[in-house]
Amino acid sequence: MDTQKLLDEACPLIGEYGWSYYFEPTTIARGERLGLDPFGFYFLGRGGVLGDVEAAVVQSAFGYFNPAVLAMMWDAGRAKCEPRTAGHEFFAAAHDFARPRLGGIDELGAFVTAASKVVEAAKRDLTGLTLFAAASAEPVPDDLPAAALHQIAVLREFRGSAHLVAVVASGLSSKTAHFLKRPEMYATFGWSDDDRPTVTDADTAALAAAEAMTDRLVTPAYAVLDDDGATALLEGLRAIGPRLKSAPTTEV
């Protein structure tokens, strides 16, 4: 299978499914046990794999957010919970979300094998991929349902980290790139109407260049899959998606 065709179909699904558990009730409950509200758990949990670092380090790995808002959320969270603990718990929330939903999928074993090959290939050169480097160091569960969503979340961080590199290399600020790509989410990321950038044709062209560069950056990792592996990755994603949107089928 042509690697670009694989990226065109797989990466949007990974981007969508990789955050499917972020604000689910079981995740929120896990965060509350740590003393964190839903957004507090998001910031400290997703960023906690980086360790007990300053907010500026998390900002460099996340991009897109208003730095003042991120710093406020990060510092408030780490006053209540050790970041590495929150990072482990955030992945555990993914596992708990997946287990009652993804059991019994025939394609799951081959999918996890294929996804793991891509992750391991991506880890051969972690330069500039800070959040992916940290997330990919988290232990993968032994059971297939949890391992499947775990690796999807890690692959989401892979492309996200690569995209930040590409955005910077293309001459865009992450704030402008985010506004161009997801204007409806701009306020959610802590920006006000006064922060809205004046977008030029050059900015639009730069974002298109960044998207193309992102593909080039992640291509070597996905290219390790042969036709069977690429098929397994896609068929697994197609089977997993509807289950993630459904009610649990077993008790957690």
pLDDT (tens, 9 = 90+) of the chain, 252 residues, equals 899 999 999 999 999 999 999 999 999 999 999 999 999 999 999 999 999 999 999 999 999 999 999 999 999 999 999 999 999 999 999 999 999 999 999 999 999 999 999 999 999 999 999 999 999 999 999 999 999 999 999 999 999 999 999 999 999 988 888 888 888 888 888 888 888 888 899 989 999 999 999 999 999 999 999 999 999 999 999 999 999 987 676 433
Q: Quick check: 136 and 152 in contact, CB under 8 A? A: no
Distance CA 195, CA 198 (A): 9
- Nearest CA among 123, 147, 134 for reference residue 224: 123
15 Rama sector, left if φ>0, alpha if ψ -120 to 50, beta otherwise: alpha
The amino acid at 196 = R
Nearest-5° Cα angle at 173, 118 to 218: 15
Number of CB atoms found within 10 A of residue 42's CB: 21
The helix-helix angle for 83-102 and 144-169 (nearest 10°) equals 120
